[in-house]
Amino acid sequence: MATSTLSRVAKALIAPALALGATVGLASAPASAAVWNSCDQWGNTTLNGYTLYNNIWGSGAGSQCIWANSGTNWGVWADHPNTGGIKSYPNAKKVINKSITSLSSLTSSYNVTVPSSGAYNTSYDIWDTGYKYEVMLWVNKTGAVGPLGTSQGSLTLGGSTWTVYKGNNGSNDVFSFVRSSNSSSGTVNILPILKWIKDTKGWFGDVTIGDLQFGYEITSSSGGMDFVTNSYGVSSS
């Protein structure tokens, strides 16, 4: 479910690194010591061209710690209560800074290990540089979660079949693509999806794509659950 620009983007940039009252050890991290880890609410770092955010922004959140071996191999341990509302969106961000028409390709591959219970989605969150438009690509989801807006029907594009939703959260328009079946690994051809929004639907113009994030939008993970990005990468030209 999409959130406001302030919640997801600006807070990660302007809020102080506030440690949560209750934190836990990184028992979920790989046996070898991670290159970086943090249990801070807004903990972030940049590794090999990707910026990682712990990004615990929702009300009623519990504890969450992020670890990373690189910008493309990372994970979180999260213990959020079984209540409604998104608690966090830990993610790895790649900055594109190219207009849609200037891009000749934009693809991403992912391989994740996610819990079989709880309530969350694994998603791409793509923003224009003005933060007026948000495109979400849900590659898997579990539990009582759903996208913002109303269904616009189904579409096969970018290597998958999606149900498309269109909405607005008060700060920006949101276009969500929910994969018809859950996937833990694959490649998404993102550029045709952006061109479909622009050229076929006319929902935005030739915007400049800024942040391309990939992570876990977690509503509940009671008892503590692991979300692991085994590998991830973005390629653009």
pLDDT digits (tens, 9 = 90+) for 128-170: 999 999 999 999 999 999 999 999 999 999 999 999 999 999 9
- Residue reference for tokens 């622009």: 198
- pLDDT tens digit string along 26-82? 444 454 579 999 999 999 999 999 999 999 999 999 999 999 999 999 999 999 999
Q: What does residue 175 show for φ and ψ, rounded to 5 degrees? A: -120, 110
Indicate the number of domains in the chain: 1
| Domain that residue 208 falls in | 5-229
pLDDT grade, residue 200 (50/70/90)? very high
CATH number at residue 83: 2.60.120.180
| DSSP-assigned letters across all residues of 149-171 | SEEEEEEEETTEEEEEEEEE-SS
In-domain check, residue 34: yes
Please tell me the pTM assigned to this model: 0.88
In-domain check, residue 69: yes
Q: What is the pLDDT of residue 23?
A: 38
In-domain check, residue 223: yes
